[in-house]
Structure 1
Amino acid sequence: MPISIPILLSYLLLIGSACAQVSAPDCTDSTFSWSYNSLQQNPCLVAAYLAAVCNNGTLIITALQPQHYYTGPSGVDNGDTCKCNTVVYNLISACDACQKESWISYSTWSFNCTTNAAGATFPEQVPSGTRVPHWAYLDTSIKNNWNLSAAQFAGINPEVTGTASIVPISTSTAATSTSHHSSAGAIAGGVLGGIIGAALIAGVIVWFTIRRRRARSSPYLFQGGEKEQPPRPLAEGAPKLYDPADPSTYPSKEYLSGANQPLGSTGYLQPSDGRYSGLPEI
């Protein structure tokens, strides 16, 4: 029994979907439940769904290490419209925050982008597996930063939902007025159906090929950049008490000449104020 064209197309689509993978970390801050969409997807997962549209349906966001944040597009994905927009930036910023880390400004996020979506828009079609909360569409490019309080106040509704990327094919046909068909007509219909089926299969193959070509970057995106740390205090050991019989306790010439200043109470080097130190001058 030959396989019908709709069943064959569904099989091909399932194969393509099986190759796709979307993954994101959990939120570690329980107070961020307000940011979840109606499907109970956290902002990290919603961002992964959106960014995956330009990456052949595959996007893996790894969990942040302590004192890290998510960086913007760089390298081959500089022109990636799925990431160079405020919607994904807002979601990624919330993903930073819900892991108890800070986030970067929009200008820093989009610094390497060769194109930016105008206003608070996502320039691609929202995939059917997720729903984008309303707060993600706040135009943060105006003030150049995601605002947690403003996002929480905006809420999740109305959400933006996706639609199926492939329109189902109707299999209904018009009823005929006679119950008799010639063998020639059946053969012609079979040939025509085969041609149409081959064309549809070729179209699906071309569609998958185009999607794969768009996936130019690594599926492991948004690796965390480390925050700049303040300078560490210099180690200061306990000095020996002055002992006239122990030359190692004598003040050094560099110390007496002021070449090296003593450490202050903060542990950092302090500038000289030119006052008399009470030590004999040479």
Structure 2
Amino acid sequence: MLNYIAAIALFVAPAIAAPWTNATCVDQRWSFNSQAQSPCLVGAYLATPCTTDDTFGIYSLQGTSGGPYGFAASAANNCLCNSVMWNLLSACALCQREPSGTWGQWVASCPTNMINAGKYPIPLPAGVSVPSWAYYDFTTAGVFNAAVASQQTGLESSAVSGATSTPIAVPSLTGAPSATPTEIIGGTSTPKPVKTQSGSNTGAIIGGVVGGVLGIGLIALIAFVLTRKRKAEDPAAKYPEANHKPPMAAQFNPVTPMTGQPSPYQFGAQPMSTPEHKPYDPSDPSTFPITPTNGHYAESIPYSYQPQGAPGQHPYPSTPQV
């Protein structure tokens, strides 16, 4: 049976205290679990419960004589002699574009009492999720069928808080795993870069930002137009002189003259007192008629205007002067 095993790539590596693999999958991306762990790494995890230090490594088939995977009779145990491990290591070989081998080849080194079909006989280790397709029973056909396995959309099994089941998220060839897978190369853990499907999310975010900016700009433009229209319809803004009130002009008071100006004639002033007219009395000289000087006769004016001049000015004479 060992003639069909081209490479023995399973071995215990006590120097590295963790499940590991340096196998790189270039195909069969559907075989990754929801934690973006390859079937090679999942197989390494399932082999650790049967080791003394929880350490197990799976080498790459590249650079060797090729697949399929197998193991010696001295390495047979319950972790290896079951169809779940065979399915995982068959998918691991196929993702490296190597042959997967048959069920008979896989269990050739196993005692009959260790062989289990369709199940993993011991509790699952922590830190790994086993895809539902790994539990599919291909032992009757004897050949692992990748096409059938890739169509299984059941729940994954894990050891988180006991044996629980979680929904499976199978990566596609064109997509990318939802987490960063870690492959152990030469004993050093190095993260493998993963492409993210963020194109649609980025486009939606950019579209939302642009739409928000345009909406704010439109609202600002409408507010600006309404404000300008309201100002244009305001008569106070259009004709500012309509609300202008000129200062009060000084009111002219004919009674009270301004300082430094001659007072106007006051009409209606009290007349000056004149001597009482007495009848002619030859014995009273005051009743004699007045003879004008130089032969001119001057008639007395019964009323006279008494102008009030400015200080320092003589008033107009009450009687005309010759």
Higher relative contact order (CA 8 A, sep 6+): 1
